[in-house]
């Protein structure tokens, strides 16, 4: 294997572990909750701190790397990521786990954008389509594989190994990088570092991602949420004003004057939003409604990851021949088919679920392959580095938005489903031709069963009178089925509401993108 390929393997591994850890922890949360004797809501900080700091620190830390040497700093990023993985795996409480995840995220904020930039720089401008396609495939595949790998590790080892598994990858990558990378690079233009712009960008991203990840728990209209929202708006407006005036801005705003980059920015947010809405919600459905264990629930995502793996490299390589309009519009169209399927019968049958999941994966693969190429097609040097930092942040923003919108929508739908089920219970029991004194007991037990689907077993005897018990059991059976139908509908409704937005995205894609694309 030549040096170029070995260097590329460093950057591929860096992207893989960074993106993997955005989702690998999801299915392990119940086991960690038991191990730490804490609630899942408390554990949300261990999950969200990674995304919050990853998104917030990517741009300023990339600019620091440009000043002190990207090869040096990426090695520091690997050390930081490995240390955070070790702390997380050894943690004996929620506080230590949050600290470990925070250290991990700082490392990821260094490794991810630098891996993209350095990987692209390995080849000449007119030959970089293949490298970009490989790096883009790695991003999408790692994020989608996270729950699957997390489920397998949690089932056969322990939750701690979802962090320990990073260590051999990081150590091997560091050793190869230490031998191959050039650490003599210098950039003495440190005094031009945009400290004010950097501070404002961090404050904006911290406040915005925090309110998006914690808003549901706090309440979207609570004082805390409103303070964070107003702060985010203030920091964004101030940041834009400062960057317009700055000689060496933190983010060159002329990036967004480029049509390809602007379009790619929108696509990267939306494609990740629609993907994560499935990869996060689907395992939750199979665990909470179908009573799957974490391993089998994660296996339901395999069709998604498999099709991403198949379609994304192909779409990246055929971009010049087919053009972005066809690839991107068909990508979103496939995702739309998947969403329509989940709305109808995709959640009623495992085979259908896998079938529609394959459409989601194929659609995302058709998008992520070319969009990574398109985003950097017009840039070299400093603009190339900045474009990768911004795209990394936008990708995280898509993930955060998916969690904020779809998880909030799911909780709202489930609350409405419970109200409907409680009303049905009251109506059904009140109409039963049974002794009045046992009706309150039946209503109470049925309502308790709504809160814990796994324990809602129907007793065979209630009064000891066969005819009456038969009526009661038939009513309770109908109540149980109706309650489950209401819960399933709550999940279906989530995807149904997203269908118009996907349809609008397809129309926009057809109007915005041109039929031909040349990566000179």
Residue with structure tokens 């440190």? Answer: 190
Maximal CA-CA distance, the chain? 90
CA atoms within 13 A on the CB side of 297: 26
DSSP 491-519: HHHHHHHHHHHHHHHHHHHHHHS-S----
Q: What are the pLDDT tens digits along the chain (520 aa)? A: 577 788 888 888 888 888 888 878 877 777 888 888 876 667 777 877 888 788 778 888 887 787 778 888 889 999 999 999 999 999 988 889 989 999 999 999 899 888 888 888 877 766 666 777 777 778 777 877 788 888 888 888 888 999 999 999 999 998 888 888 877 766 555 546 667 777 888 888 888 888 887 787 788 888 988 998 899 899 889 888 887 877 777 777 787 888 888 888 899 999 989 998 888 888 888 887 888 877 788 888 889 888 888 888 788 778 778 888 889 999 999 999 999 999 988 888 889 999 999 999 999 989 988 887 888 777 766 777 777 778 878 887 888 888 788 888 888 888 888 788 777 777 777 777 766 777 777 777 767 666 665 444 445 555 556 666 676 777 777 777 777 778 888 888 889 999 999 999 999 999 888 777 655 4
pLDDT at position 451, please? 64
**Cα–Cα distance, 35 to 46 (Å, whole number):** 14
CB 65 within 8 A of CB 392: no
Sequence ranges of the domains in the chain: 1-187, 194-247
DSSP 328-377: HHHHHHHHHHHHHHHHHTTTT-HHHHHHHHHHHHHHHHHHHHHHHHHHHT
CB 339 within 8 A of CB 499: yes
pLDDT at position 467, please? 62
- Distances in Å between the Cα of 35 and the Cα atoms of 158, 287, 306 are 10, 19, 32
Q: How many residues does the chain have?
A: 520
Tokens of 326: 């066809």
**Cα–Cα distance, 69 to 76 (Å, whole number):** 11
Residue with structure tokens 């109470």? Answer: 444
pLDDT at position 456, please? 47
Residue with structure tokens 């198949």? Answer: 310
Select from 106, 107, 92, 93 the least CA-distant residue to 169: 107
**Cα–Cα distance, 172 to 169 (Å, whole number):** 5
Given the candidates 1.20.1250.20, 1.10.730.10, 3.30.930.10, 3.30.420.40, the CATH classification of the domain at 1-187 is 1.20.1250.20
Q: Where are the alpha helices (DSSP H) in 403-465?
A: 408-430, 439-451
Q: What residues have CB less than 8 Å from 56, skipping those under 6 apart?
A: 109, 201, 202, 205, 206, 209
pLDDT at position 288, please? 77
Residue with structure tokens 């398109």? Answer: 374
Select from 252, 216, 265, 204 the least CA-distant residue to 41: 216
Phi, psi at residue 71, to the nearest 5°?
-65, -40
- Distances in Å between the Cα of 440 and the Cα atoms of 57, 105, 419, 447, 466 are 56, 52, 17, 11, 20
**Cα–Cα distance, 26 to 53 (Å, whole number):** 17
CB 26 within 8 A of CB 50: no
Torsion of CA 394, 98, 139, 57, to 10 degrees: 40
**Cα–Cα distance, 293 to 297 (Å, whole number):** 6
**Cα–Cα distance, 429 to 422 (Å, whole number):** 11
**Cα–Cα distance, 35 to 97 (Å, whole number):** 12
DSSP label at residue 458? P
Tokens of 75: 């090695």
DSSP label at residue 222? S
Tokens of 147: 């729950």
**Cα–Cα distance, 160 to 24 (Å, whole number):** 12
Query: Under the phi-then-psi rule, with left for phi > 0, alpha for psi from -120 to 50, and beta for the rest, what region is 194?
Result: beta
Q: What residues have CB less than 8 Å from 342, skipping those under 6 apart?
A: 278, 353, 356, 491, 492, 495
């Amino acid at each position: 294997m030549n040096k170029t390929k070995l260097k590329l393997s460093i950057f591929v591994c860096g992207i893989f572990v960074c993106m993997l850890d955005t989702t690998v922890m999801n299915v392990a949360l119940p086991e960690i909750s038991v191990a730490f004797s804490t609630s899942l809501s408390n554990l949300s900080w261990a999950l969200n701190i990674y995304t919050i700091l990853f998104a917030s620190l990517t741009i300023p830390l990339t600019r620091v790397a440009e000043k002190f040497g990207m090869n040096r700093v990426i090695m520091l990023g690997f050390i930081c990521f490995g240390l955070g993985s070790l702390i997380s795996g050894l943690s004996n409480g929620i506080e230590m786990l949050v600290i470990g995840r925070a250290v991990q995220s700082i490392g990821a904020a260094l490794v991810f954008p630098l891996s993209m930039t350095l990987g692209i720089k390995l080849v000449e401008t007119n030959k970089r389509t293949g490298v970009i396609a490989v790096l883009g495939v790695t991003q999408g595949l790692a994020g989608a594989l996270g729950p699957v790998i997390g489920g397998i590790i949690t089932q056969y080892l322990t939750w701690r190994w979802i962090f320990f598994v990073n260590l051999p990858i990081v150590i091997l990558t560091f050793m190869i990088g230490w031998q191959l990378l050039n650490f003599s690079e210098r950039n003495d233009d440190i005094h031009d570092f945009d400290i004010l712009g950097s501070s404002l960008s961090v404050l904006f991203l911290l406040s915005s991602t925090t309110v998006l990840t914690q808003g549901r728990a706090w309440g979207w209209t609570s004082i805390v949420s409103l303070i964070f929202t107003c702060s985010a708006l203030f920091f964004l407006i101030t940041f834009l004003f400062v960057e317009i005036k700055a000689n060496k801005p933190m983010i060159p705003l002329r990036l967004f004057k480029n049509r390809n980059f602007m379009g790619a920015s929108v696509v990267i947010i939306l494609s990740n939003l629609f993907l994560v809405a499935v990869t996060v919600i689907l395992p939750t459905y199979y665990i909470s409604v179908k009573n799957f264990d974490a391993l089998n629930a994660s296996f339901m995502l395999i069709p998604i990851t498999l099709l991403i793996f198949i379609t994304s490299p192909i779409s990246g390589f055929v971009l010049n021949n087919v053009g972005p309009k066809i690839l991107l519009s068909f990508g979103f169209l496939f995702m739309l088919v998947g969403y329509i399927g989940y709305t109808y019968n995709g959640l009623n049958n495992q085979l259908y679920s896998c079938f529609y999941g394959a459409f989601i994966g194929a659609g995302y693969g058709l998008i992520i392959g070319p969009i990574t190429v398109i985003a950097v097609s017009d840039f070299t040097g400093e603009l190339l580095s900045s474009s990768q930092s911004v795209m990394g942040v936008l990708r995280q923003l898509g993930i955060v938005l998916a969690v904020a919108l779809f998880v909030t929508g799911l909780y709202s739908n489930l609350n409405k489903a419970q109200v409907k089920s409680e009303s049905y219970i009251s109506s059904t029991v009140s109409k039963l031709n049974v002794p009045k004194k046992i009706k309150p007991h039946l209503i109470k037990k049925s309502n308790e069963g709504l809160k814990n689907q796994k324990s809602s077993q129907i007793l065979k005897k209630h009064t000891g009178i066969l005819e009456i018990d038969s009526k009661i059991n038939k009513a309770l059976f109908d109540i149980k089925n109706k309650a489950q139908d209401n819960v399933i509908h709550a999940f279906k409704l989530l995807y149904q509401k997203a269908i118009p937005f996907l349809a609008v995205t397809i129309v926009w894609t057809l109007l915005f993108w041109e039929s031909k694309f040349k990566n000179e």
